[in-house]
Structure 1
């Protein structure tokens, strides 16, 4: 009988987006990362590297804020070789008529 291989599953949310800063419901609107969000993604990659985690694969939504977070984190952890797969199933929830509105409204 073959030995079982231990697996580690790592989840990460995208870095802060421009609409997070504006406090807007984003949903599937394809907004970019804020400057802070870029830094958060890089920091996530540095933490991955410090922890000695090595990825076999990376999954992301089709939204550029998630794709950029994935790419920046992989670059910061020296793992740009890792295959990435995108799926709409990882996109943020759809907010319908709330999309674009200030969350305070």
Structure 2
């Protein structure tokens, strides 16, 4: 497989401390910036594409990677959560804002 795109995104959950929600927003941020007309132009099926997502959060075990993979719109997707992102504590009320980062990589079999 050959990587042909990588997009990065950031997302957060300000009040619920929901790591999956923050990760989902980071993934959405990354893919929202992509438009890849080559599939139609070259007659390549989206089913040929492998999508590998890595999300960074402070509590990787709290991320439901299966739910995130199901939400990706195209290709065969896998999602992995790793240590990263930030937890930012509001000093006045101790509320934790969860910040996630995401890298979305797309791969196709080598062409030509």
Using structure 2 for the length normalisation, give the TM-score. Answer: 0.38
Q: Which structure ranks higher in relative contact order (CA pairs < 8 Å, sequence separation ≥ 6)?
A: 2
Using structure 1 for the length normalisation, give the TM-score. Answer: 0.40
Q: Which has the higher helix share?
A: 1
